[in-house]
Amino acid sequence: MKGKKVLLTGGTGGLGLGVTPAVLAQGANVTIPYHNPKEVERLKGFLAPADFARIQFVATDLTHEPSVQHLVDGMGQVDVLIHLVGGFSMGKTYEYRLEQWQADFQLNLTTTFLACKHSLRKMVASGYGRIVTVGSRAAVEPGGQLAAYCASKAGVVALTRAIADEMKGTNITANVVLPSIIDTPANRAAMGAENAFQWVKPESLAQVICFLASEAARDLRGAAVPVYGDV
């Protein structure tokens, strides 16, 4: 990814703390949309000052299409999209509010669609692109009290595979990773740290993502890559 222009959504989040340094280590120039300025400052604590020159932080609402279009157009060119944005929620289906369901799909699936749609505009124009999205093991192994999460992440998998099929015959690929439980501060706070040694480390998942985002992954199209750790 050396010299490539990378749009890295969710780069300031828990998974982003592992992925962003890995992408920068590849020599990429990175644009990171953000919502919370405090998360930007937290991320900077994980980076070398020399890396700051290759990062552009842009305040963006990734659920709002004009904001996403403005973000992408401001980059000029998008060689790689790594879309990490997403969220986890639980609740019994018969108790789940429609507003919760819609919010889950907005966060997990709509943001993926908008980021992919507008990145693809640039990729098709340049003739090159790598798209990596984040699904979940729950997308292919759904469980109780996770209906909205499983369904929205299954949508991410289906969307990514559809894009891969659309882009056959080009140098644009799309693949999705399927992590189990990622060892992030938020997951430790929600579930405790007793079994965290079995979870997927952000740095480990980052290596898989970076390969899929590389020129070397030209022949991987529509792959749903399980990254389960020991769970």
Band of residue 207 on the pLDDT scale cut at 50, 70, 90: very high
Average pLDDT in the 73-85 region? 98
CA Rg, the chain, in Å?
Answer: 17
Question: How far is residue 175's CA from residue 182's CA, in Å, rounded to a whole number?
Answer: 19
* Strands 80-83 and 129-134, bridge-based pairing: parallel
Give 11: exposed, middle or buried? Use CB within 10 Å, 0-12, 13-18, 19+: buried
Average pLDDT in the 68-79 region? 98
Model pLDDT for residues 167-192, shown as the tens digit of each residue: 999 999 999 999 998 998 888 888 89
Find, among 154, 162, 13, the residue nearest to 84 by Cα: 13
Q: In the prediction, which pLDDT does 191 show?
A: 87
Cβ burial 98-121 (10 Å sphere, 16+ → b, else e): eeebebbbebbbbbbbbbbebbbe
> Which sign does the torsion angle of CA 204, 4, 176, 11 carry?
positive
Element (H, E) at 56: strand 55-59
The residues, ordered by sequence, that sit 6+ positions from 138 with a Cβ below 8 Å of its Cβ are 146, 149, 150, 153
**Taking the CB of residue 191, how many other CB atoms lie within 10 A of it?**
12
By the 8 A CB rule, do 41 and 224 touch?
no
pLDDT over 90 at 231, yes or no: no
